Chain A
Amino acid sequence: MPSWNEFEEAAPELAERVRERLDAHVHKTIATLRKDGSPRISGTETQIREDELWIGSMPNALKAKDLQRDPRYSLHSGSDDPPGWKGDAKVSGLVEEITDPETVQRLNGHGPPGPSHLFRLEIDEASVVKLNEAGDGIIVTLWSPERGVREVRR
């Protein structure tokens, strides 16, 4: 599954917009799957470093346990309140947990001391939604590795 870097190479303009929307707010939300298959939503921070998209978490956080059991995730950017809404980004795919202590320390080192989880996010689908020029409809620009970039107006 494509890494952030591969997504960026395949769809540079959309990747830039996704990055801008992810960076616009510190707090984002991530959906994971519970043991019974029902969805769980959690707060998270993300970072794009070393050409990869990452999330960290406190040890044994429920979202981390979910991701260890089932690597599927959906991430939603933070969102501005109207009338200044600049659009939202969404990214979905599979995580890869990284347990190599040196990498965990390098990527999570800015967080609280002590153990933590580190997940690299692989990207199977990414999109940005924003208002159209007239402000009376939305434009969704989405990418998947199979279909490339598409635009949907509603």
Chain B
Amino acid sequence: MAADPRRRLRRIVDGLGLEADDRVLEIGCGHGVAAEMVCERLTGGRYTAVDRSEKMIAAAKKRNSAHLRSGRAEFIVGELEDLNLGDRRFDLIFAVRVGLFHREPAWAEGLVSPWLAPGGRILGFYDTPG
């Protein structure tokens, strides 16, 4: 595919306001393109991704194999509705082009809010703002 989606994701990740030690959860990570950009910005934190598609998770793991090996990133196959992330809590939970987050944001936020650390943020995007 063209470079367009990558540019859009770059702008979105630039706007996340990431801190180097944030614990980050991405819902619907797809091929793991944003994953790569987030991991590059983390020095002490951790990136966790969930996607319902085994195929996407496999592609995301392949793309991020170095971050996977270093323990910076983890990729989980799962449905948002029955997500079990154990005792993980996140400073930032974000989703890009996940329909639920713009069609029914209150429901989507309700589903992920149990995984939020105190003071954590939930951000949903379907496109680059502006």
Mark interface residues in B1-21 (1 if CB within 8 Å of A CB, else 0).
Answer: 111110000000000000000
Most B CB contacts (10 A, CB to CB) among A93, A97, A98, A145 go to A145
**A99 to B8 Cα, complex, angstroms:** 13
**A101 to B100 Cα, complex, angstroms:** 32
Q: Judge whether B127 is part of the interface by a CB distance below 8 angstroms.
A: yes
Chain B contacts of A41 at CB under 8 A?
none
Tell whether, in the assembled complex, residue B4 and residue A124 are in contact, meaning their CB atoms are under 8 Å apart.
no
Chain A contacts of B99 at CB under 8 A?
1, 93-94, 124-125, 144-146
Determine how close the nearest CB of chain A comes to the CB of B11; give it in whole angstroms. Answer: 14
Chain B contacts of A122 at CB under 8 A?
97
**A99 to B52 Cα, complex, angstroms:** 28
Residue among A1, A72, A103, A146 making CB contact with B80, cutoff 8 Å: A146
Those of A3-53 within 8 Å (CB) of chain B: 6
- Main SS at interface, chain A: strand
A123's nearest neighbour on chain B, judged by CB, is B99
Contact size class for B? 10 to 19
Those of B59-118 within 8 Å (CB) of chain A: 79-81, 97-100, 103
Known: A72-B126, A146-B80. A94 touches B3 (CB 8 A): no
Known: A1-B99, A6-B53, A146-B81. A99 touches B4 (CB 8 A): yes
Mark interface residues in A117-154 (1 if CB within 8 Å of B CB, else 0).
Answer: 00010101100000000000000000011100000000
B100's nearest neighbour on chain A, judged by CB, is A146
Tell whether, in the assembled complex, residue B103 and residue A124 are in contact, meaning their CB atoms are under 8 Å apart.
yes
Chain A contacts of B97 at CB under 8 A?
1, 94, 122
Residues on A facing B (Cβ under 8 Å): 1, 6, 70-72, 93-94, 96-100, 103, 120, 122, 124-125, 144-146
Q: Can you report 25 residue pairs joining A to B where beta carbons are below 8 Å apart?
A: A1-B28, A1-B98, A6-B53, A70-B127, A71-B127, A93-B99, A94-B99, A94-B126, A96-B1, A96-B4, A98-B1, A98-B2, A99-B4, A100-B4, A103-B2, A120-B1, A122-B97, A124-B103, A125-B99, A144-B99, A146-B79, A146-B80, A146-B81, A146-B99, A146-B100
The 9 A-B residue pairs with the shortest CB-CB distance in the complex, in nearest-first order: A124-B99, A100-B2, A1-B97, A98-B2, A71-B127, A99-B2, A146-B100, A94-B97, A94-B126
